[in-house]
Amino acid sequence: MSRQLKLLNLPKIDSLLFEKELYSQGITKVAGLDEVGRGCLAGPVVAAAVILHRENKIEGIDDSKKLTPKKREFLFERIKVEAVSWAVVSVSPQDIDRMNILRASLEAMRLSLLSLDVEPEYLLIDGHEPIKSDIPQKAIKKGDARSISVGAASIVAKVTRDRMMVELEKEYPHFSFSIHKGYGTKLHLEELKKHGPTPIHRMTFAPVMGCLRR
């Protein structure tokens, strides 16, 4: 029981900590950037950029992986309507194979930034790596759980990519993309072994390459 009480009393993360520091410096247009699908074997990598209002009224924004699909969908619709600006882009499996997944993920975030219709003054980016931009920026480890702006971007990217994978299942019905979303699950690996890769698989990823050699 004492262990449970200690867990319940853990301090809550202030998801506005980074934004508050920037707001105190007079910076109001803060863009959060995140990508989804980096670890998948199939489908694009999708990135989003979101600028929330300083007086943001959207409650419940968090790392998209912590939210239910229904909650993500609800928040996505709120973000689309209430954000100062938002944008989402994808980088194809072919481009991922050409430039490698790290570079493709960073490029997707850079392109999402360029797609905003409002230029931000500062960038908060999920992960360790900065993107190519002259705008001041900070890379934040687990930023989607620590920054509300990055969390919003993770929701936009996740919902967009999930919807894309559901549609791709219609084109490739032998693969349960609506279930595993292209990640290397047991089900997906079994489908790969049985049917072989599709044009939307990432041919440079080891499990896919293994099927090509068969």
pLDDT digits (tens, 9 = 90+) for 65-105: 999 999 999 999 999 999 999 999 999 999 999 999 999 99
Residue 204 tokens, joined? 């440079």
CATH of 9-173, one of 3.90.1150.10, 3.40.50.2000, 3.30.420.10, 3.40.50.1980: 3.30.420.10
Report the pLDDT averaged over residues 20-41: 96
Residue 190 tokens, joined? 């079994």
CA distances from 35 to 12, 45, 85, 136, 169 (A): 24, 7, 17, 19, 21
Q: What is the chain's mean pLDDT, rounded?
A: 93
Q: 51: which strand partners?
A: 31, 85
Count CA atoms closer than 13 A to 171's CA, side-chain side. 9
- pLDDT of 4 strictly over 80: no
Instruction: Output the pLDDT for position 212.
Output: 75
- pLDDT of 2 strictly over 70: no
At residue 86, φ and ψ (nearest 5 deg) are -150, 155
Is this prediction's pTM over 0.95? no
